[in-house]
Structure 1
Amino acid sequence: MNDQLEQIKAQSKIAPPTGGRGDSSVSVFAPATVANVVCGFDVLGFAVDAPGDEVVMRVTGKPGITISKITGDNGRLPMDPAKNTVSVSVKHYLESIGRTDLGLDIELHKKMPIGSGLGSSSASTVAGLFAAKTLLNDQRDVAQLLPFAMKGEEMACGHGHADNVAPALMGGFVLIRSYEPLDVVRLPHPKDLWCAIVFPDVDVPTREARQIIRNKINMKDAVTQWGNVAGLVSGLFMNDIDLIGRSMKDVLVEPVRSMLIPGFYQMRQMAMELGAVSFGISGSGPSVFAFTKDEQTAHAVIQKLQAFLSGMKIHSESYVSTVNDTGPRVL
């Protein structure tokens, strides 16, 4: 992974920015994301409007990166810049552009739940990288920040996948066509596609959720999965929500990960009966999501699922959004 990222940096021909914004601080929001999109394990993801994280970054007079404040994490995240995904990613970025002389202080405000399967670490990392890019008036495409964001993912969950950081950084719906070399494609999507997300308050750590996935699969299952991924991408290009829905079936990962989410199959049946076109796990879970054709159905799905979880004595949070095409933004 390290060799790959070094190669990407070299190929990018990154040069030091010519100047700064003239500002000494900036506040940036970066969105949550839904990774995998059921059948596209590690290769598909999209951004949503809410929730997300905020980073406030200030230029200081002393070279190096510091973290002065973290809120909303209940003390779970490290203040040590060598151990935090935001500061580690920003450090790699500054090294690549020859600006290790710069001093930056970071405030991280977690506005989304940790361990939700909604790309919590990705949102923080992308917000930090976009803040640094903004302060330095770096005019290159935001996609150039992707290798550094993946460094943060590697630290967070032991695997530098891009299906969260790529949509958080670039906005919209993305396909990671290849990791070696890195090749990320932004996909079109129907504008009237709505997403209903429910986060049950149960613990599904990302590292453990990856470890239970099978290393070997049957050719029959592989063929089924390939057809579904192709069908989903085709549905996105064709604005065919029904094709998107019937393609979102996973025979490889969901059967295993669903065991970690209480009432998963009951929730799927409820969502589909209410008119959802698809239902699945967001990332490694425990968040689940459904695509719908309108906002009203999305709210109906959320209401039903939260009532079901409440009956199981499980607290939950919910979000309704279209696909977020903006990505990170300066507040």
Structure 2
Amino acid sequence: MNSIRVFAPATVANVACGFDIFGFAVDSPGDEIVLRKRDKPGVEIIDIIGDEGRLPREAMRNTAGIAIQTFLQHIGSEQGIEVTLHKQMPLGSGLGSSAASAVAGVFAINELMGRPLKTMDLLPFAMEGERLACGSAHADNVAPSLLGGFVVIRSYNPLDVIRVNTPDGMHCTIVHPDIEVNTKDARFILKNEVSMKNTITQMGNVAGMIAGLMKPDYDLISRSMVDVIIEPVRSILIPEFNEVKQAALDSGALGCSISGSGPSMFALSRDAETAQRVGLAMQAGFLAVGITSELYVSEINQQGPKILSPVTATA
């Protein structure tokens, strides 16, 4: 195999109460990458489509490029690679855009090189892409994008990642308002210390969320989707946040919060019909103040990356 085309899904990180430890994958949007072997050593990004020229073309400054390069160094290969990246989600959206590119890249190169590593072992290379993008090698976006499903990052040292079962039929609604929140800025405004009261409340909600997903118990999930630490601070960066969240709850959502660092907002619902209704209500909330948005509705993506149809000459 001399070329490959791979899709990696967007993700919702934090999931309300689980800052930096919860994340799940969705069916749409996501990024696609095309890799081709070449005789000349090194990783070269040939083109990036859909980024409006905003992303670096130098491989070691690009999340997909650095993930591919560090993987090749790890397996001791000097194989040359040409990369074409198709960005299919907004940058700075809170949907794990940088993570999807890194995951697509490292998953694709592993397949192209004959799958020398297991999928779980690819995670550190994808995390290097996150370190490049936002200064911190966190895994709450790359892990669910790579592994699929709902993921818990129990520990970073050593890295300990667990997939958690989710109720059949539960759907996610994502609304991305046409504004941008920089991930580094969203982290900068967070407080370094948290009160004992809020810590206890948050720990209870984290435990309740996992129990609710595994039982499954929708009422418990709903009661647990409360963030008393991060959401109150970051929500000030999203216009009409409280009104949009209330619109989602009034329309039947189990809960609603910020996706990653924002500005996207997500909601969980019992079924597809409710999730669609919730999304329209959320969009109406943003539109009331003149903010347009994109709407995505899907189940929890259990697959993670996938190999697409064979690469064509024009891909």
- Shift of residue 302, structure 1, vs aligned partner: 1.2
For 2:55, the aligned partner's letter is L
Q: Deviations over 1:210-261 (max 9, x none)?
A: 0111100111110000000000011111111211111010111000000001
Q: Which runs of 5+ in 1 are unaligned?
A: 1-22
Q: Which runs of 5+ in 2 are unaligned?
A: 309-315
- Shift of residue 308, structure 1, vs aligned partner: 2.2
Q: Is the 8 A contact 2:173 2:278 kept in 1?
A: yes
- Shift of residue 141, structure 1, vs aligned partner: 2.2
Picking from 146, 159, 183, the partner of 1:169 is: 146
Distance between the aligned counterparts of 1:280 and 1:308, measured in 2?
A: 14
Q: Is the 8 A contact 1:85 1:156 kept in 2?
A: yes
Look up the match of 1:178. 155
Distance between the aligned counterparts of 1:124 and 1:137, measured in 2?
A: 20
For 1:49, the aligned partner's letter is D
Q: 1:243 aligned to 2:208?
A: no
Look up the match of 1:33. 11
Q: 1:111 aligned to 2:88?
A: yes
Which 4+ stretches in 1 moved above 3 angstroms? none
Picking from 75, 84, 90, the partner of 2:68 is: 90
Picking from 35, 41, 52, the partner of 1:74 is: 52
Look up the match of 1:192. 169
Picking from 12, 19, 27, the partner of 1:49 is: 27
Q: 1:319 aligned to 2:296?
A: yes
For 2:110, the aligned partner's letter is K
Q: Deviations over 1:131-168 (max 9, x none)?
A: 10110111532110001111000000111100000000
SS at match of 1:208: helix
Look up the match of 1:15. none
Write out aligned runs for 1:143-162 (5 A).
143-162=120-139
Look up the match of 1:303. 280
Q: Is the 8 A contact 1:72 1:110 kept in 2?
A: yes
Q: Is the 8 A contact 1:193 1:241 kept in 2?
A: no
Q: 1:255 aligned to 2:228?
A: no
Distance between the aligned counterparts of 1:42 and 1:294, measured in 2?
A: 26
- Shift of residue 114, structure 1, vs aligned partner: 0.7
SS at match of 2:47: strand
Q: Is the 8 A contact 1:53 1:123 kept in 2?
A: yes
Q: Is the 8 A contact 1:54 1:111 kept in 2?
A: yes
Q: Is the 8 A contact 1:276 1:297 kept in 2?
A: yes
For 2:207, the aligned partner's letter is A
For 2:247, the aligned partner's letter is M
TM-score by length of 2: 0.97
Q: Is the 8 A contact 2:247 2:285 kept in 1?
A: no
Q: 1:277 aligned to 2:236?
A: no
Q: Is the 8 A contact 2:14 2:21 kept in 1?
A: yes
Picking from 232, 236, 245, the partner of 2:209 is: 232
Distance between the aligned counterparts of 1:183 and 1:302, measured in 2?
A: 34
SS at match of 2:82: strand
SS at match of 1:76: coil
Look up the match of 2:312. none
TM-score by length of 1: 0.92
- The number of residue pairs the alignment matches comes to 308
Distance between the aligned counterparts of 2:117 and 2:39, measured in 1?
A: 26
- Shift of residue 44, structure 1, vs aligned partner: 0.4
For 1:176, the aligned partner's letter is I
- Shift of residue 311, structure 1, vs aligned partner: 2.2
